[in-house]
């Protein structure tokens, strides 16, 4: 029997320093998929890696062995002990795994409930697995298409996305709390991607006095600065910009620290020890954690934003409750479809045997019936087809409608015995 299993870790189960070891910038999803495909215990697989989660969903004939293979692969890829990784991971099987991936795509399992980015990230993970790596099949293809439909239902039938608070918004809210407002303050954005753009807009809306943007692509920095009334600077000017900034928000795609403790030590001297607040919303992190130990320097990472995100969440939780109901409906529907897969081989055998009998008897009878017109022969063909279909219709419906595993196995066995299907197959 095929099982669906989900193994992973997210912002609730693992700290950022552990998640970043397996982030997409450090561990290639394609390499992980290739290694999983080579396992005899894994039939289909998808690997999802975002700033707040790393997980795989797969089908397996032996879920216990598949679990061991996946955790060993992740530990090896992240260069960490298996036991350390295992203690921070979750495991979902069968309908629990289906429910989990529905909740992930619908943004109910996100740090920011209702945020839209996760659906695109799940779609990209599926595209890599299904199109490029060809690591999916009948079950996961069906599951992922249903996942996208569920996410669409949740966004259409609830107001969950309208009440979402983005990570960028949370970062700016944290900055406001630190300074009791942003008027008269100088902010530095490092990076010019989607999260940086959202942070820039929130900073401007909240009255930041000066906003400077540093990015490896100066052209992109100029483009973003022009759209929000900020100023662009070259990446090589970052230290100069850090000297005059009050607030730094960093969100690049760098794989190593772009701001180190030694760099900040030099900057603090030039600032005459004026307080510096840094907010790192990148995964992997942009800023070396040791920075937080320096005097007059305060560093917050993406996990520190949880408290801000959780504030005023009543409305989001009400919409999330409605979304959970939709997900439960869809889990039941998918479970019903999945349960029919067990009986499909028996149904195919039954249909094939009845069709063989029909054709054999029709050939035998037609040799004794001479002088029939084409229309009469067609009518006899239609009559025998109809009779054959009606004969097997009730057994097929009965097979599809049995819900319990034990009853289904028993009914499949009885059907094979009654119609002598095992003998026919051999």
* 280 sits in which H/E element: strand 276-280
Q: Which two tokens stand for residue 104?
A: 């992930």
Domain 167-310 homologous superfamily, CATH:
NAD(P)-binding Rossmann-like Domain (3.40.50.720)
Cα–Cα distance between 327 and 294 in angstroms, integer?
47
> Quick check: 192 and 142 in contact, CB under 8 A?
no
Cα–Cα distance between 175 and 348 in angstroms, integer?
64
- 242-294 per-position pLDDT tens digit: 999 999 999 998 889 999 999 999 898 888 878 899 999 888 899 999 999 99
Residue with tokens 């909240």: 206
The one catalytic residue in 45, 51, 58, 297 is: 51
* 234 sits in which H/E element: none
Q: How many Cβ atoms from other residues are within 10 Å of residue 369's Cβ? A: 10
Q: Tell me, which fold does domain 3-164 have in CATH?
A: Beta Polymerase; domain 2 (3.30.460)
How many residues in total does the chain contain?
426
Catalytic-residue membership of 45: no
Q: Which of 150-154, 226-230, 412-416 has the lowest mean pLDDT?
A: 412-416
Q: Both ends of the chain: CA-CA distance in Å? A: 21
> Quick check: 91 and 6 in contact, CB under 8 A?
yes
- 103-154 per-position pLDDT tens digit: 999 999 988 788 888 999 999 999 999 988 999 999 999 999 999 999 999 9
Q: Which has the higher per-residue pLDDT, 307 or 206?
A: 206
> Quick check: 354 and 360 in contact, CB under 8 A?
no
> Quick check: 339 and 403 in contact, CB under 8 A?
yes
| Strand arrangement of the beta sheet that strand 297-301 belongs to | 231-233, 210-214, 186-190, 247-250, 276-280, 297-301
Q: pLDDT tier at 94 (50, 70, 90 boundaries)?
A: very high
The CA R_g of the chain, rounded to the nearest whole Å, is 29
Q: pLDDT tier at 163 (50, 70, 90 boundaries)?
A: low
- 291-321 per-position pLDDT tens digit: 999 988 999 988 888 777 776 566 677 888 8
Cβ neighbours for 264, distance < 8 A, ≥ 6 positions apart: 242, 276, 291, 294, 297
For the entire predicted model, the pTM comes to 0.69
Cβ neighbours for 311, distance < 8 A, ≥ 6 positions apart: none
Q: Which two tokens stand for residue 208?
A: 């930041």
> Quick check: 402 and 347 in contact, CB under 8 A?
no
Domain assignments of the chain as residue spans, ordered by start: 3-164, 167-310
Cβ neighbours for 277, distance < 8 A, ≥ 6 positions apart: 175, 178, 179, 246, 247, 248, 298, 300
Q: How many Cβ atoms from other residues are within 10 Å of residue 7's Cβ? A: 23
CA 134-140-141 angle, to 5 degrees, is: 70
């Amino acid at each position: 029997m095929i099982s669906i299993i989900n193994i992973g870790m997210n912002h609730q189960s693992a700290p950022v320093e552990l998640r970043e070891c397996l982030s997409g910038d450090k561990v290639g999803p394609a390499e992980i998929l290739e290694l999983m495909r080579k396992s005899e215990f894994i039939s289909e697989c998808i690997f999802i890696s975002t700033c707040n989660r790393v997980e795989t969903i797969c089908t397996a004939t032996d879920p216990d062995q598949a679990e061991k293979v996946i955790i060993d692969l992740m530990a090896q890829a992240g260069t960490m002990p298996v036991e350390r990784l295992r203690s921070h991971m979750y495991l979902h099987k069968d309908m629990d795994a289906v429910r989990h991936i529905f909740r992930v795509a619908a943004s109910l399992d996100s740090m920011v409930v209702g945020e839209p980015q996760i659906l695109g990230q799940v779609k990209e993970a599926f595209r890599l697995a299904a199109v490029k790596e060809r690591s999916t099949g009948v079950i996961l293809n069906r599951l992922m298409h249903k996942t996208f439909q569920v996410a669409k239902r949740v966004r259409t039938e609830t107001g969950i996305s309208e009440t979402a608070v983005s990570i960028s918004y949370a970062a700016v809210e944290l900055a406001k709390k630190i300074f009791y407002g942003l008027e008269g303050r100088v902010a530095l954005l490092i990076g010019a991607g989607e999260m940086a753009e959202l942070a820039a807009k929130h900073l401007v809306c909240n009255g930041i006095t000066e906003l400077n943007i540093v990015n490896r692509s100066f052209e992109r920095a100029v483009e973003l600065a022009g759209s929000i009334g900020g100023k662009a600077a070259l990446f090589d000017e970052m230290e100069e910009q850090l000297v005059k900034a009050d607030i730094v928000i960093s969100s690049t795609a760098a794989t190593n620290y772009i701001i180190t403790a030694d760099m900040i030590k030099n900057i603090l001297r030039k600032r005459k020890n004026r307080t510096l607040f840094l907010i790192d919303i990148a995964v992997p992190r942009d800023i070396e954690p040791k920075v937080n130990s320096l005097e007059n320097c305060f560093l917050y990472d993406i996990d520190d934003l949880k408290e801000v995100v959780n504030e005023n969440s009543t409305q989001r939780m009400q919409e999330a409750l409605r979304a959970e109901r939709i997900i439960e409906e869809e889990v039941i529907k998918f479970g019903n479809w999945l349960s029919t897969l067990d009986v499909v081989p028996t149904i195919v055998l039954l249909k094939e045997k009845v069709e063989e009998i029909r054709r054999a008897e029709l050939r035998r009878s037609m040799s004794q019936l001479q002088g029939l017109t084409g229309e009469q022969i067609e009518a006899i063909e239609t009559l025998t087809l109809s009779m054959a279909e009606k004969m097997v219709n009730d057994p097929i419906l009965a097979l599809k409608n049995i819900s319990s595993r034990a009853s289904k196995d028993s009914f499949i066995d009885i059907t094979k015995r009654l119609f002598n299907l095992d003998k026919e197959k051999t």
